[in-house]
Structure 1
Amino acid sequence: MTFMPWTSELELGFDEIDRQHQELVRLTNQLHEELCCPIPRREAIGAVLEGLVDYTHNHFIIEEVLFQRHGYPETAAHQAEHNGFTARAMDLLMRFEDGEEVSMEALDLLKGWLVHHICQVDRAYVPFLRAAEAQAAATA
């Protein structure tokens, strides 16, 4: 059974954003698979953590550019969510690089944050961006 299956509940209806969210879910599952090995490989765990941090950072930039382009009124609050997660992910990576083990607790935290962020925080911008895109298409 997949640790964090991709479901339609996680889809927002923006192809690029959904593809990026799928990649974050894939990386989370990859981390889970490595942690479940009888002897998890530190180098593999480190590579996945670095990939998660890098990919998440780039994904957040793309979302924030969309917000700025369309004047999303909740940009500051959304950026604060992004910044908080980035800090937590970087802290996890730094602790790992300092020799700390990554636990299932950290993985559960990652999964919980992703589900909450996609299903609640990101879903909140969907109506605004849909309306902004429709308005832009109508005036084009």
Structure 2
Amino acid sequence: MTFMPWTQALEVGIAEIDEQHRWLVEQTNALHDALQAGASRAQVGALLEGLMDYVINHFIAEENLFARLGYPEAEAHQAQHDLFNGQVMSLLDRHEAGEAVGADALELLKDWLVHHILKVDKAYVAHFRAHGLG
């Protein structure tokens, strides 16, 4: 069974954003599968770093849309992004220090992605559509 199945409920209806979210879910599942298969520390580290890089780029893409479309909740949304970046960086630091963080990373990713997409990201959809996106 897939650790975190992609469902229609996770779609915000904006193709660019949905594609990025789907990739994040797929990579979360790849991390899960790698851990289940006994991946090396180096492999886990590479997956975590790849996720972090992609998350940063995804956040930049969203934040650029906020600026372009004058999203009124941009500052609060960006604060959520900053918090998550800090949590993932902490996991990376712990991994680099030799700690096994795979299970923590999976739970953080799953909980955060579901909450963030279903609650925080869906909040901007109406604004984006009202300004011609979607």
Which bracket does the TM-score occupy, shorter chain normalised? over 0.9
Which TM-score applies when normalising by structure 1?
0.91
Cα deviation for residue 19 of structure 1 reads 0.5
Matches within 5 A, 1:1-140: 1-37=1-37, 39-133=38-132
What CA distance in whole angstroms lies between the structure 2 residues aligned with 1:106 and 1:67?
28
Cα deviation for residue 110 of structure 1 reads 1.4
Cα deviation for residue 103 of structure 1 reads 3.7
The unaligned stretches of length 5 or more in structure 2 are none
Q: How many equivalent residue pairs?
A: 133
Q: Higher Cα Rg: structure 1 or 2?
A: 1
What CA distance in whole angstroms lies between the structure 2 residues aligned with 1:46 and 1:103?
9
The unaligned stretches of length 5 or more in structure 1 are 135-140
What CA distance in whole angstroms lies between the structure 2 residues aligned with 1:48 and 1:119?
24
Which segments of structure 1 move beyond 6 Å, counting only runs of 4 or more?
none
Cα deviation for residue 42 of structure 1 reads 1.1
Question: Percent of aligned positions with the same letter in both sequences?
Answer: 57
* Cα displacement string for residues 77-133 of structure 1 (whole angstroms, at most 9, x for unaligned residues): 000000000010011011101111124233112100000000100000000100011
Which TM-score applies when normalising by structure 2?
0.95
